[in-house]
Structure 1
C-alpha cells in the first residue's frame, strides 16, 4: 500500500525482530510454536508500539506547523511516555492530561512511566477523574495554549485515530517480508486490543496486503462486543483514509475479553503468571497493563487447545516494561 500521501516523521530504524520462543512453547506443552514480534524494541524512551503510530501523528503535526503536542492516557500511560519522548526529540512542548481510571491510583512521586514523564521534560501534567471526556479536556488545554500564542496539536489517546492507525497498517508489510525471508508460515497473530489503533491498523494491513493471517485481539479494558465495534469502526475509517475499494468484513475482527478483569490496569493472576513465564523462559519483559494481560490470553488459549496442534502463533509485544516498576507489590 502507498503511504506517500501522508506526512510521516521517520522514527523507525528498520524492522523490529521477529523471534521464536522455543522455551515458552515447550513450557506450555509443546502443542504450538510461539513467535514474538518485538515492538517493545522500537525507538523512543524505553520503546513500545506507539512509536509506529506517532510517525504519522507527528508527521501531520509538523506539517501543520505545530510547536506543542497535547495527549492523554492513564496515569502510567506508555503512549504518554512515547509522545513525550518524541516531543523532546523534536523540540516540541508536551502537555499531558492523565485520567485516573482507578480512583487514588495517581501518585505524583510514583516510579514507572510517571518518573519518565518528568525526566522527558513534560511541560504540564493535569490529572482528571476516571470517565472524563478526554478529548474535551485536551481541547480545553489547547484553547489555553492558543491564548499564549502556541500552536498545539492534539494526539488522541493511544494515537488511535485513522492517522495513527496507519502505523500498524504499514507494519504488516514489514512482518510479511520477515515471514517470507524466514520461510515461516504463521497461522494466527495475537495482539493487545485497547485504544484499538494497533488492532484496527493491523487488521486493515492484513486485509489490504492479502496477508491471510487471522488477527486476534486480547482486550485489556472492555467487553467483547464493545471492543469489536470500536475496532471495526476505526478499521473502516482507516481503510477509507487509504481509499481501499473493498469493504472490510466484520468477521475479520475477533476479540477475547476474559483476561482484563477486575478492570483496566488492575493486576490479576493470569497477568502475573504471564509476566513471570515470559521473563523466566525467554528473558522478555512484558508490562502489567497491555502486553501482560494479552500474553495471559495467549497462554490460556494455548492451554485450552484453541489453536490447532502444530500451528505457529505470532504474538505482538507492544512494550511498556517501565510500568513494571509501579507494580512491585503484585509481582514480588
Structure 2
C-alpha cells in the first residue's frame, strides 16, 4: 500500500497524470497492496502482476488469494473493500520452465534493458516481470497513450 502511495505522491509532486498501469513482478502480496491502495483511492490505475511462478510451485497464490490479501490489507487500514476476482490481473505466461529458472524471454528482456538503458535486472524474477511488460507492449495491450510504471 505504501509503495502505491509513494508512486502516486511522486506523480502528484511532478504535476503529472497518474499512471494507467503499474507492473509488478509479484506472486501475491506486492500486487495485493498496490491493488488495494489504487481501489481505496478510487484510482483507475490497472495493477498487473507478472508472476515468476505458476501452480506447479507450492508457494503459488491464485488470483482469489490475491483478492483476499487486498481485502485484508484494507481491513488492517480500517476500510471495508470488496475486490471482484476480475480486478486481479496476475499472469503466469512468462514463468518459463519454472520458478527460480531463467527463461529465454526474461534473458532477452534483461539484455534489452541493459543494452538500451544500462539497467540490470535478474533474469529469474524481475526479468520475468519485464518480459511480461514487453510482451504486453508487443501484443498491443499497452500503447503509447499509456503511462506505465514497472
The one-character-per-residue Cα deviations of 1:277-331 (angstroms, maximum 9, x if unpaired) are 111111111112221100000011101111134222111xxxxxxxxxxxxxxxx
> Are 1:204 and 2:71 counterparts?
no
How many Å separate the matches in 2 of 1:173 and 1:198?
13
SS at 1:189 equivalent: strand
8 Å contact 1:265–1:288 — kept in the other structure? no
Unaligned runs of 5+ in 2: none
Deviations 1:154-213 (A, max 9, x none): xxxxxxxxxxxxxxx11222111111122333211111112x111111111111222321
Specify the SS of the correspondent of 2:149: strand
Residue among 200, 209, 221 paired with 2:53? 221
Match of 1:187 among 12, 20, 27: 20
Q: TM-score, normalised by structure 1?
A: 0.41
| Partners of 1:175 and 1:259 in 2: CA distance | 25
Matched, 1:242 2:77: yes
Selected match of 2:135 from 300, 303, 314? 300
Contact kept, 8 Å, 2:71 with 2:81, in 1: the verdict is: no
Q: How does 1:212-291 map to 2 (within 5 A)?
A: 212-223=44-55, 227-291=62-126
- Deviation per residue, 1:114-161 (Å, 9 max, x gap): xxxxxxxxxxxxxxxxxxxxxxxxxxxxxxxxxxxxxxxxxxxxxxxx
Q: CA RMSD in A?
A: 1.8
Report the Cα offset of residue 239 of structure 1.
1.7
| Change in 2 beyond 3 A, CA 1:230/1:245 | closer
More deviation, 304-313/288-297: 304-313
Work out the CA distance in 2 between the residues paired with 1:216 and 1:285.
21
Matches of 1:230 and 1:287, distance apart in 2: 26
Residues 22-62 of structure 1, C-alpha deviation per residue, up to 9 Å, x if partnerless? Answer: xxxxxxxxxxxxxxxxxxxxxxxxxxxxxxxxxxxxxxxxx
Higher strand share: 1
Question: Who wins on radius of gyration, i.e. which is larger?
Answer: 1
Greater RCO structure (CA 8 Å; 6+ sep) = 2
How do 1:124-203 and structure 2 match up within 5 A?
169-185=1-17, 186-194=19-27, 196-203=28-35
Q: Match for residue 90 of structure 1? A: none
Cα drift, residue 256 of structure 1 = 1.4
8 Å contact from structure 1 (residues 219, 227) kept in 2 = no
Residue-pair matches, total: 145
TM-score (norm 2): 0.87
8 A Cα contact 1:218 1:255, kept in partner: yes
Contact 2:75 2:81 in 1 (8 A): no
Deviation of 1:226 after TM superposition, in Å, equals 5.1
